[in-house]
Structure 1
């Protein structure tokens, strides 16, 4: 049930249920550029029963979805490599990151969204996915929920070159990484994208990739 005391103009997609320990007082949009940055004022009930007013900023880029594509016949996983500017300015020397195919939902169903992203980025046309996680990736500052899937593919699933969309500034390389290289690449830092590490470790721990 929504709180009648909430600001009437909640950002699109936001849902703030009525709770006894938090009262949202005001929401201000600080930036509306590529995505949106909000400042939220709220009262939080502390463990001693007292109330404390706090202000935090939340970056809203929408929710997203990603998928680990694995080929049991060839014993490879299908990953992407592309330039990520925020990583470049924070110590990632060339700005390139190896990742699972992923993208923003843009109000689409997570499964349908990730199927479309896979085809755009890798050229693989898939239809059968299994959802394994629904995670908040950086809850201290970003609103994003990330829906993560796994899907088995074969060479026959690849119907195009992939590479992403030029109009969105994408220039994506498609990689086929052998199963035996996964753990060494995580360990030595060649793979350091969080969603990708989570999905790869899930696959290794659960035996998804076979023996």
Structure 2
């Protein structure tokens, strides 16, 4: 186990939190850290706490939509973590997404959308940023929406050299909404983006 104090003194935005130690538990894929800190409760008491955080970097996602055809473009791929936690077959239906790596969020999601769906994004709208698992995962997800033209779609499918095997799925928007209720769409980012599209986005005036 490697001890690290690189993050101990850098976070001082909250006077009720005093970080005393940061240990790297694993860095085989991404980075798992255990942090020890003193925390001041609302009643003034100080206690020593420990939390483990998984740092895989930040990411971006995009909901691709076609208003004229009333469709959205999603992806389906095998997700092992959901497979071991009661998902029927691990074939997960979701919006195109990926890690930022060294890019800014807009550049990254343009890259990921083209790799996964074959769509070269033109107009791009930033919708919101979210933390999807704040109890343990540090990732902040930048959420975008963009129109696509079915006639301009490329091959997509992901990068085979990286083990990606991605099916591109075009769905009527009304069907996608129903699939939230049935559990066929169970991905948090995709559900949030579909709800946004229905309430404030491109399908807000659509019937049903």
Summarize the alignment of residues 108-119 of structure 1 with structure 2, pairs less than 5 Å apart: 108-119=103-114
The 3-state SS of whatever aligns with 2:168 is strand
CA root-mean-square deviation? 1.5
Provide Cα deviations, 1:125-181, integer angstroms capped at 9, x if missing partner: 0132111111111000000000000111112432x2111011221100000000221
Structure 1 residues 57, 8: CA separation in 2 closer, same or farther (over 3 Å shift)? closer
Q: Is the 8 A contact 1:103 1:113 kept in 2?
A: yes
Query: Which ranges of structure 2 fall in alignment gaps of 5 or more residues?
Result: none
Q: Once the 2 structures are TM-superposed, how far is the Cα of residue 207 of structure 1 from its aligned partner?
A: 4.8
Aligned residues: 201
After the TM superposition, which parts of structure 1 deviate over 4 Å for at least 4 consecutive aligned residues?
none
The 3-state SS of whatever aligns with 1:29 is strand
Q: Name which of 172, 192, 197 aligns with 1:178.
A: 172
Query: Which ranges of structure 1 fall in alignment gaps of 5 or more residues?
Result: 1-6
Q: Write the distance in 2 (CA, Å) between the matches of 1:100 and 1:34.
A: 23
Residue of structure 2 equivalent to 1:147: 142
Q: Write the distance in 2 (CA, Å) between the matches of 1:157 and 1:36.
A: 39
Summarize the alignment of residues 53-64 of structure 1 with structure 2, pairs less than 5 Å apart: 53-64=48-59
**Structure 1-normalised TM-score?**
0.91
**Structure 2-normalised TM-score?**
0.92
Q: Once the 2 structures are TM-superposed, how far is the Cα of residue 183 of structure 1 from its aligned partner?
A: 1.8
Is residue 203 from structure 1 mapped to residue 200 from structure 2 by the alignment? no
